[in-house]
Structure 1
Amino acid sequence: MNIFAHIKPIAQYNKVSYYSVCINSEENSLFEEFIKKHTKENNEKLDHILNWLRQIGINYGAKPDYFRPEGETADTSALPPKGINRKPQYTEYGKKKANNLRLYCLRANDSVVILFSGDIKIKDKAQDCPNVKRHFKLANRLTKAIDKAFHEDEIIWNDDCTQIIYKEDLQIYF
C-alpha cells in the first residue's frame, strides 16, 4: 500500500511560515493531531512548545539554534530547543525543568518549518523510546520525501524563500 502525504498550511508569522502534512486522505494534519492529543494530556508542556513556535515565528526566524537536532538526517529537528535557561522557559512545580514533550519537524530554512508530531520522550535516544520512536521514524521518512520533492521541483520556493509553492493536489509518497 502506498502511503502519501499532502502539505497543509498551519500559520504564517512575519518571520516564519509553518506547514504540516496530512497522511493519505486525513483532514487533520499530524501537527493538529499532536495538539489535540497533548491539549488533554500535557497542556503546560504543549503551551511551552506553542510559545516557542510563536516566538520563532514573530521574533527570531527559524534559526538552527532554536531547534534540537534529533534526526537520522541533518534536516529533521525537534522542539523545544535544548537548555532550560532559554526563554520561554518551561517550569514544573515552580522550578525550571527540561520539557520532555517533543515535536518533530523539518526546518526547511530560516523562514519555513514543516511540523510533524511527537510525544513525551522518556529515553535518551528517540529511536529507543517507546513513546516517540514511531513519530521520530515518521518524521525522518517525511523529511526525506519532502527533500526529494524539493529536488524534483514538486515543491519550490517563492521569490524571497519565505514560503513554499506546490500544487494543491501534490501527493508526496514515502
Structure 2
Amino acid sequence: MELKSVMEEISKDIADATRTLFETMIMIDLKFNNAAVVNQPYIKADVAGLISFMGKYHGLIGLFCSRKFSLQIASGMLMEELKAFTPETIDAIGEVSNMIAGNVKTKITADYGEMILSIPIILVGGEPTCTEINSLPVSCFTKDPWLITNFSSGDEVFNIGLLLKETK
C-alpha cells in the first residue's frame, strides 16, 4: 500500500483516539478540524510530546500545543487547576502523548503489523521554565512529510503529527 494512503487511513484513527481520550479522561471537548499530509520541514510549538515507534512502519507521533493548552491538558488529567508550568505538566503531556500513541497502535496493529513504542520525550520551549534552552520555540525538523491532524478547543488549536516510513 502506498505510504500516503496508509497515512490517510491512520489519520482517522488518530482523530478518533485523540477525541475519545480528551472527552473521557481530560474532560475537554475537541473539534476535529482537518488532517493533511504536509511537506513542512518544521513543526513549531511551545510544547511537544513525542513517541517513536518501530515495526513494519517506523516513525514518530507527536502532540504539539501551546503552553496555555498544555496547562489545560494537565489540569484535566490531574483534576485540579494548574496555573504554572511544573514537572506535573510535563508528566501529563507525556502521559497524554503515550495514550494517544497507544490507542493508535491498538487500532492499526491488525492492518499494519505489530509496533513497539518508545517512552515519551517532552520538549518545552517558550518562556523560562524548568526545562528549556534560550527561550526558543520547540522545532521538529524533517525532510519527510508529516501527517498533521488539527484540533481545536475554544480558542486553542493543537496538532497531532505523524511521521511515518516503511521499514525495509
When normalised by structure 2's length, the TM-score is 0.32
TM-score by length of 1: 0.31
- Structure with the largest fraction of helix: 2
Structure holding more strand per residue? 2
